[in-house]
Amino acid sequence: GWLCELLRWKEDPSPENRTLWENLSMIRRFLSLSQAERDAIYEQESSAGQQHHNERPSHLMHVSTDQLQAQPPQSQQQHQPSLSL
């Protein structure tokens, strides 16, 4: 899949194909870093992602947590008959 994309980029270095090449280069650079550097970058990325979540309206968060809390009892009720057999 991405090998074909790379070959296509070599033949036709258009902006769309270039972004894929840049992403792969970035991944290779990331993988060549030491584990400590990778962890530091990962921490930065994950903390940035959490800030985005905090910007979401709180009522959306409440709805999703309520739905998650409501689901487990239903699934337990469905599984109980099969367990007793």
Q: How confident is the model at residue 70 (pLDDT cuts 50, 70, 90)?
A: very low
Asked if 2 and 20 count as a contact pair (C-beta separation under 8 A), the reply is: yes
Q: How confident is the model at residue 36 (pLDDT cuts 50, 70, 90)?
A: very high
Q: How confident is the model at residue 75 (pLDDT cuts 50, 70, 90)?
A: very low
Of 41, 3, 42, nearest in space to 21 by CA: 3
CA distance linking residue 54 with residue 51, whole number of Å: 5
Which residue in the block uniquely carries the two structure tokens 């790379």? 6
Orientation angle between helical segments 15-32 and 2-11, nearest 10 degrees: 120
Instruction: Summarize the confidence of residues 36-49 as an average pLDDT.
Output: 86
With a cut of 70, say whether residue 83 has pLDDT above it: no
CA distance linking residue 13 with residue 11, whole number of Å: 6
